[in-house]
Each structure stands twice: as C-alpha cells, then as structure tokens.
C-alpha cells in the first residue's frame, strides 16, 4: 500500500450549492464549527450586518453583502480532513462557480424547505450531473413553515430528475416542528424551540419510547408513523452505489440556523461519499495514490490582497503528495517551475502549508503564467486533464475605454481578468482591441469588471449592453465565418485564441443558421485547452 493512501482515504472535497438565501453560508459555518475551524458562530455570516462572511473578501462583496468569488476552506472532523468549496449562490454568479464544481468530488445541495427547488439550484445541479458526482441534499429551515416533505421530494425528482432517498423525516414544521426521525438509527431527534436562541439541543429518543409522546405529542406520532409506512412502501432504498454515481440523492431535513440535524448530516455525508477518485486525463486515468503529484488550475484570482497586488492560482491536487517548494513541470508552459508560497485558504486568512495530498486545494502564487485548466506535475510526467469546459456566457456588452490614452491599461486589465476566467472577451472579426465584446455568465460580473478596471488598472470604461442571448462556437475548423448565410441579427466574432463564434439574439436565429448552412456545427461549450 502506498504510504500516502491513508492520508487520501481521510479526504473529502465537496462544494455546497444552493439558491441565494437557502442557508448555504449558515450551513457552512455550522460545519466549520464542528471542525473547530472557527470559534464563533457568526464569523462566516455577515450579510447585512457589520461582520462579513469569512468567504467574502473582495470589496464589492463587502459593499453588497454577497459572495462573488468562490473560496475554499479546510477543516478536520474526527479522522477526516474536509475541504469545502464555497460556490457563490448569488443569482448573478459567474463561471467561477461552475468551474469550482470541477474541483469537487461531491456536492451538498441546500434547499429552503418553504421554497423548494429554485432557479440557481437547477443550474448548478446540471453541472454536477454532467460530472456524475454524488449529490447530498439538505432541506433547510424546517423551523419555518415548509412545504409538505413528500411534495418536496417529488419536486426534486421531477424538476431535477434525480431519485431521492430521505435519510431522516421531519416531524411537523414551523411552530410545530418537533424534530426528525432518523430512518437509519430509528430514533427521533427531538427539537425544542429555544425562543430565538441560535442553538437547540438535540435529544435522541427511540420511536417506541413512552417519552416520545411527551416530547412530540400523540397526533404528531400518529402522522409520523403513517409517513414512515408510506416511505417504507414507496421510497427508494439507500443504494450507495447509485448515490456515488449521482443517480440517487440522500435527503436530510434540518435547520442550519438552529444547528439542528447538522452533525448527523455531516456524519452520514462522510460515510456516503468517497475519498478522491481517479481522474480522467487525455492519456488515461490518474490514480490519487500515485507516486507522482499532479494538479490542475481551476480558478485564478488576482489582487485578493490589494496591498500585494498578487495573483493566486487555485489548484486541485489529483494525485500524489505536494510538498512546499517542490519542483514541477508546468505542462502547458513546457517548463519546470518551483511551487513556492503554497497556501491553503481559510477565506481571507491564508495559511502557509508544508504538504498537501490528492483531494486538497492549494493556492499558489502565480507570476502570470497559469491559465484555467493548466496542469502541473512531478517532472517526468506530462499529464493533461480532460479540459475544463468554457461555459457559454449568457449576457454580452460592448466595452471600451473612456480615455483613449489608457489603451494599454485597458487591454492589460481586460485580458488579465479574462485570463482569470471571470469574463470572456471577444472581438468582431478583423477588429482591434479598442473595444471588446465582453460575455459573462452572470451580470454581476459586469460590475466586477468595471470596479476592477477602475480600481486596479485605473481605467474608466463605457459599457453598452448588447441584445445577444446565445453564443455558439463554430465546431468546423474549415468554415470561414464570412461565407456563412446568417440572419441579419447574428454577429460573427472571435475569441482571443482566434476561435470563431456566433452571437445570436434568439433560438430562432440559431435554427436559421443551421438550416441555411448544411453541415455547420455549433457547440455550446468551448474547450479551454
């Protein structure tokens, strides 16, 4: 057995996904509390209060009280070493969020019990499905009036298309919330509302204990017994194989704010998910416990600390052991580099690390050499992981600098920000860089771009929004876009790598293009490699 295997076996790396306000930040905070990673409830939170979430660090996030960038947090729980990837849940979130999911081995989906499956959850869920990673569901806010739990399960199954298996079952909700019945231990975890107090006591009572009637009440028990019978008859069984393939989601009910049901959730989650799995590369599979280190860059963040004007490349280690100052091959750059100043993030607090293992996420100081999707590995290996897709932007704007004397800074700023992957930039065919078309996954990125160009590059810009809604990469390498027969509102553009694309205002124009140009291939995802 390789000597690093025990280290890798302990690791769990997951992302939390949710629609804004479902309780992702609150749940993250409670999980970190269990690991002793933070001492104070409230230090991850902040929103409209003076304090700010540990995971919110950019100024714009502070101004708006939202989490724009995704951060990474590591904590230990029992014998496990857990990496949480925070994905911004804001409705205007960016491509970063999608890419973060590429670095995760599983996902926790937080759903607000009173609202059910919401829009952003659907989008994020689709990316998880694309990767077949396990998805564990936490239905939150059971201390508020919630939808009928059977309806919630049906909604998940119908809207998201994944089977569900409730691991616990709520007894009432809102004012009548009495706790949850744990279907695995067959105990009731009783909930006692504590008048505004933020933590409630959890008390396990067997289903057949007379004490339960006092705690829960006779009517509630009758309802619960009826529900249990229904579940046994109709629900899906817990099949870990299906869970690990992302075909079945175990469902937990609880209340993150009250720290109710969080620890059992965490413990089961750790059992249900696997340590880091082998990863696909262009030349086969890489095993996590290989004797060589390999990692890929899934996110680049510049100027996290304005004082230092630095750039950090976030890497997911896929195999082997990483050691501080180790020399690696940067495969795409075709050269050897030393990985100095490795850092692990506890949001804005960075901690220097000496070593890390497959499954871990590290931040490396980037002198401007990395792009999203790049690989570093032990010299002698040339691994290229299957490309992280470029997700199609959904909003477009024409951007140019106010002061033409600032052309250099404008080009530098937009190119660097695009290299980080926060925005995508395009040009009209044969046009210069005086003005660029910026495409983003979420409109908030326009504000981030403006803010960063002003503050970090000292450039004022004029931004005009464009009516396009869809972008497609032209898949045929031998097609000259100028010869295509297109609807009048379709625009021909190219990206910085010279790939040709088309911008459409409607689905109708896409069909038109396909009908009038036989053999034309239009792709929704671009390759980053």
Site of interaction with ligand G4P (CB under 6 A): 18, 20-26, 45, 47-49, 89, 140-141, 143-144, 255-258
State the minimum distance, in angstroms, from the CB of residue 203 to ligand G4P: 18
Contact 276, 293 (CB under 8 A): no
Q: Which of residues 25 and 301 has its CB atom nearest to ligand G4P in the complex?
A: 25
Strand order, beta sheet including 179-182: 168-171, 179-182, 187-191, 202-206
E strand residue ranges, 245-394: 248-253, 279-281, 284-286, 294-302, 311-319, 321-323, 327-330, 335-338, 343-346, 349-352, 355-357, 361-365, 375-377, 389-390
Burial class (CB in 10 A: 0-12, 13-18, 19+), 513: buried
Short-list 190, 134, 191, CA closest to 162: 134
Short-list 482, 486, 479, 481, CA closest to 519: 479
Q: How many CB atoms lie within 10 A of CB 155?
A: 16
Q: Which of residues 67 and 424 has its CB atom nearest to ligand G4P in the complex?
A: 67
Burial class (CB in 10 A: 0-12, 13-18, 19+), 141: buried
Q: Which of residues 66 and 510 has its CB atom nearest to ligand G4P in the complex?
A: 66
Contact 490, 502 (CB under 8 A): yes
Contact 42, 113 (CB under 8 A): no
State the minimum distance, in angstroms, from the CB of residue 28 to ligand G4P: 8
Short-list 342, 348, 459, CA closest to 412: 459
Q: Which of residues 167 and 242 has its CB atom nearest to ligand G4P in the complex?
A: 167
Q: Which of residues 197 and 340 has its CB atom nearest to ligand G4P in the complex?
A: 197
State the minimum distance, in angstroms, from the CB of residue 317 to ligand G4P: 27
Q: Which of residues 26 and 445 has its CB atom nearest to ligand G4P in the complex?
A: 26
Contact 88, 71 (CB under 8 A): no
The CA-based angle 450-61-467, given to 5 degrees, is 40
Short-list 450, 454, 402, 401, CA closest to 422: 450
Q: How many CB atoms lie within 10 A of CB 78?
A: 11
* Helix H or strand E segment including 272: helix 262-272
State the minimum distance, in angstroms, from the CB of residue 337 to ligand G4P: 37
At residue 450, the 3 state secondary structure works out as helix
State the minimum distance, in angstroms, from the CB of residue 141 to ligand G4P: 4
Q: Which of residues 144 and 147 has its CB atom nearest to ligand G4P in the complex?
A: 144
Q: Which of residues 107 and 257 has its CB atom nearest to ligand G4P in the complex?
A: 257
Q: Which of residues 74 and 140 has its CB atom nearest to ligand G4P in the complex?
A: 140
């Amino acid at each position: 057995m390789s000597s690093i295997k025990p280290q890798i076996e302990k690791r769990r790396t997951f992302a939390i996904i949710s629609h804004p306000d479902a309780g992702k930040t609150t749940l993250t905070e409670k999980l970190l509390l269990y690991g002793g990673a933070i001492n104070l409830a409230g230090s991850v939170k902040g929103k409209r209060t003076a304090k700010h979430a540990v995971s919110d660090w950019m100024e714009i996030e502070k101004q708006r009280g939202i989490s724009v960038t995704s951060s990474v947090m590591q904590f230990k729980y029992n014998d496990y070493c857990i990496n949480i990837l925070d994905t911004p849940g804001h409705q205007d979130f960016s491509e970063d969020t999608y890419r973060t999911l590429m670095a995760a081995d599983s996902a926790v989906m937080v759903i607000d019990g009173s609202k059910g499956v919401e829009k952003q959850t659907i989008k994020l869920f689709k990316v998880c499905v694309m990767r077949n990673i396990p998805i564990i569901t936490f239905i939150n806010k059971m201390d508020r009036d919630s939808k009928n739990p059977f309806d919630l399960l049906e909604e998940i199954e119908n809207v998201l298309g994944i089977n569900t298996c409730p691991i616990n079952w709520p007894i009432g909700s809102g004012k009548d919330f009495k706790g949850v019945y744990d279907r695995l231990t067959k105990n009731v975890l009783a909930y006692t509302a504590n008048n505004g107090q933020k933590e409630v006591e959890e008390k396990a009572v067997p289903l057949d204990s007379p004490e339960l009637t006092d705690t829960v009440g006779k009517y509630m028990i009758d309802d619960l017994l009826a529900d249990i019978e229904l579940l046994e008859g109709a629900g899906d069984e817990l099949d870990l194989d299906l869970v690990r393939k992302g075909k079945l989601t175990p469902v937990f009910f609880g209340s993150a704010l009250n720290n109710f049901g969080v620890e059992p959730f965490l413990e089961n989650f750790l059992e249900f998910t696997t340590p880091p799995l082998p990863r696909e590369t262009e030349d086969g599979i890489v095993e996590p416990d290989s004797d060589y280190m390999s990692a890929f860059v899934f996110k680049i963040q510049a100027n996290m600390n304005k004082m230092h004007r630095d750039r950090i490349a976030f890497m997911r280690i896929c195999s082997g052991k990483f050691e501080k100052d180790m020399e690696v091959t940067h495969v795409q750059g075709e050269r050897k580099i030393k990985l100095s100043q490795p850092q692990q993030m506890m949001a804005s607090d960075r901690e220097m690390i000496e070593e890390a293992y497959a499954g871990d996420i590290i931040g490396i100081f980037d002198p401007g050499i990395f792009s999203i999707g790049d690989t570093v590995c032990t010299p002698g290996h040339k691994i290229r992981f299957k490309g992280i897709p470029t997700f199609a932007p959904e909003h477009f704007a024409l951007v140019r600098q106010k002061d033409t004397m600032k052309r250099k800074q404008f080009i530098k700023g937009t190119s660097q920000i695009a290299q980080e992957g926060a925005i995508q930039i395009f040009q009209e065919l044969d046009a210069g860089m005086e003005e660029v078309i910026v495409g983003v996954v979420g409109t908030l990125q326009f504000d981030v771009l403006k803010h960063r160009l002003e503050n970090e590059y000292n450039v004022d810009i004029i931004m005009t929004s464009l009516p396009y809604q869809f972008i497609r990469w032209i898949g045929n390498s031998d097609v000259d876009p100028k010869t295509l027969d297109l609807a009048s509102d379709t625009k021909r553009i190219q990206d910085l790598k010279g790939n040709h694309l088309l911008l459409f205002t409607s689905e109708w124009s896409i069909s038109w293009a396909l009908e009038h140009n036989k053999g034309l291939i239009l792709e929704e995802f671009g390759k980053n490699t």
